């Protein structure tokens, strides 16, 4: 049995939304009567109720399905596995419009300026890792003519993949690396954004993946996510989400010492020296925080500007954001900034803006309250909107200079020289991204060496490439996704020694 609901999209199109779980290539109803409510963040209206997996029974069933599929999937010839990835990428391409509309409906991402890029990312990542499948090699060592040693890179088994709300399909795609390496997987989508992953699941079956390779359970982290993390039949957890939850996951995964990779939160600095290409610095600074409504883990949300150009930079940044980041209906092709994911997040971001005002910062753009164009709209006035906001004059003590806001808010402060700037950058426990604007190549390279972060952008921000590893240090997590490095999260290395005649 499986339940579906006919949903009308803002474009007027309708589609059948699966409401249950996806196990063994079939949609099935959950054994639990608990549900999640999926909202449209642009209007605050309920879209539908999605069934939560029963944390014991259904998670067990999904893990068992993945376990059964593991030897089957693992033993399919590499080129056939590769072709299935390419077929799936093609199906996503054919379904790009509907997937983008569903993603937008449930997450508030503007369709043209945002959601479609996420679908392109899903396609790109499937092709990128599909291309690796027939190139996964070990190494060989020949220390003498009496001995050969070599390594196998073997899949781990069943991987539990836990996904955040900010890029539901795109972050899911990064964890398809597990499947490329020969593992099978149980995915748990974020409780705010279950719709698109469930819809996507049917394409996996259509592409021809064997049953049980890719399974989806929906539900809250504290119940369904927790059950996956503690499950003795799960061999690995790949998690993207907040640092607090990451800490919990690392502790809980100790039950069977399953390895974890953690892509957690950040408060990534961007520093602007007075010798920079000023116009480019303004544009990239805006782009590094105001895209995706500021819900970017590696968003460069802390900006330090050299004191010689501080006021000028604030004026030009505000002007640029005002002109280029229009807020409004995600279905409007010109809109860049949609709503935050939830009422809770909207309120949380509002509290941070208020704290900055209370702590003596200047609001250069945006601030508290709904934007005028939203208040006056009948349709959107209950949406979870926050104005793109620029806060100036932060000090190391200011709350908004230390904590991840995860909204369209940039906190700006000033510095006078390189040493002070580096100390400010490295002063937090987070270490995900970092960016520097300067024309001085020595300074830029020294910064990239000394900044405590997993990534450093020289004269850009948040320029992500599938070939290049993504991840953090310190409390932003450990392990890398994307690139060749991303593969190492999902295999064990086995060493084989062959004796060609060494005698004892
Ligand atoms: P979150 O930590 O609240 O939730 C992430 C996922 O973990 C969700 O699926 C949630 O249901 C699940 N979860 C919650 N509690 C759990 C538990 N006890 N056990 C198992 N699973 C549990 O994060 P979010 O609010 O969805 O996303 C925002 C956060 O994600 C931000 O901090 C952001 O920086 C981070 N993020 C990081 C990256 C990265 O690559 N480093 C990328 C995107 C988002
Ligand atoms: Mn959360």
Cα 54 to ligand 2 centre (Å)? 21
Over residues 78-92, mean pLDDT = 98
297 catalytic residue (yes or no): yes
SS3 category, 141: strand
Provide the edge-to-edge strand list for the sheet that holds 158-162: 26-28, 21-23, 214-217, 184-188, 158-162, 236-240, 260-263, 477-478
* Distance of alpha carbon 170 from alpha carbon 192, whole angstroms: 15
Secondary structure letter of residue 135 according to DSSP: G
Digit-coded pLDDT (tens) for 164-196 = 999 999 999 999 999 999 999 999 999 999 999
Average pLDDT score over residue span 345-353: 98
Distance between CA 495 and CA 138 in Å, rounded? 9
pLDDT band at 334 (very low <50, low <70, confident <90, very high): very high
- Rounded Cα gap, residues 21 and 135, in angstroms: 33
Share above pLDDT 70 across residues of the chain, in percent, rounded to a whole number:
100
Q: Which of 101, 103, 121, 263 is catalytic?
A: 263
- Is the minimum distance from the CB of 225 to ligand 1 under 6 angstroms? yes
Average pLDDT over residues 443-457: 98
| 144 CA from centroid of ligand 1 (Å) | 50
For residue 32 and ligand 1, the question of a CB distance below 6 A is answered with no
Residue 265 pLDDT > 90? yes
How long, in residues, is the chain? 504
First-last CA distance in the chain: 65
Ligand 1 pocket, residue 241 CB under 6 Å: yes
Q: Which amino acid residue places its CA nearest to atom 4 of ligand 1? A: 241
Structure tokens at 376: 């006056």
Q: Hey, what CATH class is 269-464 in? A: alpha beta
Question: Average model confidence (pLDDT) for the chain?
Answer: 98
Mean pLDDT throughout 65-76?
A: 98
- Mean pLDDT within 248-252: 98
240 within ligand 1 shell (Cβ under 6 A): yes
Note the pTM of the prediction, 2 decimals.
Answer: 0.97
Q: Whose structure tokens read 């995964």? A: 253
pLDDT 10s digits, 133-142: 999 999 999 9
- Residue 371's pLDDT is 87
Fold topology of 54-264+480-492: Aldehyde Dehydrogenase; Chain A, domain 1 (3.40.605)
Does 425 qualify as catalytic in the annotation? no
Q: Where are the alpha helices (DSSP H) in 262-307?
A: 278-290
Token pair listed for 143 = 């220390």
pLDDT tens digits, one per residue of 384-398: 999 999 999 999 999
Give Cα separations from 65 to 171, 194, 343 (angstroms): 23, 20, 36
- What is the structure's pLDDT at 423? 98
* Any ligand 1 atom below 6 A from CB of 452: no
Predicted pLDDT of residue 361: 98
The structure tokens listed for 442 are 């020595």
> For residues 212 and 61, what is the distance between their CA atoms, to the nearest angstrom?
10
CA distance 482 to 464: 9
Protein residue with least CA distance to atom 6, ligand 1 = 164
Separation of CA 432 and ligand 1 centre (Å): 15
Give span(s): CATH 3.40.605.10, the chain: 54-264+480-492
pLDDT at residue number 364: 98
The finding on whether 299 has its CB within 6 A of some atom of ligand 1 is: no
Phi, psi dihedral angles at 9 (to 5 degrees) = -80, 160
How far does residue 224's CA lie from ligand 1's centre (Å)?
13
């Amino acid at each position: 049995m499986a339940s579906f609901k006919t949903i009308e999209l803002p474009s007027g199109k309708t589609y059948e939304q699966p409401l249950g779980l996806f196990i063994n290539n079939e949609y099935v109803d959950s054994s639990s009567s608990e549900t999640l409510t999926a909202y449209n963040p642009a209007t605050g209206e309920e879209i539908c109720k999605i069934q939560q997996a029963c944390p014991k029974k259904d998670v067990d069933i999904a893990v068992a399905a993945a376990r059964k599929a593991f030897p089957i999937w693992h033993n399919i010839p590499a080129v056939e596995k590769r072709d299935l990835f390419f077929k799936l990428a093609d199906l996503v391409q054919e379904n790009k419009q509907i997937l983008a509309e569903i993603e937008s409906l449930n997450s508030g991402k503007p369709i043209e300026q945002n959601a479609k890029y996420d679908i392109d990312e899903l396609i790109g990542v499937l092709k990128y890792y599909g291309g690796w499948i027939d190139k996964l090699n070990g190494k060989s060592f020949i220390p003498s003519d009496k001995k050969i040693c070599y390594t196998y890179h073997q899949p781990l088994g069943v991987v539990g993949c836990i996904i955040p709300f900010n890029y539901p399909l795109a972050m899911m795609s990064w964890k398809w690396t597990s499947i490329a390496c020969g593992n099978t997987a149980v995915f748990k989508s974020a409780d705010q954004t279950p719709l698109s992953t469930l819809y996507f699941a049917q394409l996996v079956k259509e592409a021809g993946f064997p049953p049980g390779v890719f399974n989806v359970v929906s539900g809250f982290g504290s119940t369904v996510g927790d059950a996956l993390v503690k499950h003795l039949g799960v061999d690995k957890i790949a998690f993207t989400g907040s640092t607090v939850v990451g800490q919990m996951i690392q502790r809980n995964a100790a039950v069977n010492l399953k390895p974890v990779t953690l892509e957690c939160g950040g408060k990534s600095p961007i520093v602007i020296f007075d010798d920079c290409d000023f116009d480019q610095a303004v544009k990239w600074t805006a782009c590094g925080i105001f895209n995706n409504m500021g819900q970017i883990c590696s968003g460069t949300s802390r900006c330090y500007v050299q004191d010689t150009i501080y006021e000028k930079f604030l004026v030009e940044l505000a002007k640029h954001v005002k002109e280029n980041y229009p807020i409004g209906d995600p279905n409007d092709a010109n809109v860049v900034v949609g709503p935050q994911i939830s009422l809770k997040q909207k309120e949380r971001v509002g509290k941070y803006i208020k704290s900055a005002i209370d702590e003596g910062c200047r609001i250069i753009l945006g601030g508290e309250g709904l934007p005028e164009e939203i208040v006056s709209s009948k349709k959107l006035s209950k949406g979870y909107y926050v104005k793109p906001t620029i806060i100036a004059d932060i000090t190391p003590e200011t709350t908004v200079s230390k904590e991840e806001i995860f909204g369209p808010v940039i906190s700006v402060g000033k510095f006078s020289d390189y040493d002070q700037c580096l100390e400010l950058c490295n002063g937090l426990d987070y270490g995900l991204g970092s960016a520097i604007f300067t024309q001085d190549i020595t300074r830029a390279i020294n910064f990239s060496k000394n900044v405590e972060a997993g990534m450093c952008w020289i004269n850009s921000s948040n320029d992500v490439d599938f070939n290049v590893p993504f991840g953090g240090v310190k409390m932003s997590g450990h392990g890398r996704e994307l690139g060749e490095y991303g593969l190492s999260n999902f295999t064990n290395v086995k060493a084989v020694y062959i004796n060609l005649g060494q005698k004892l």
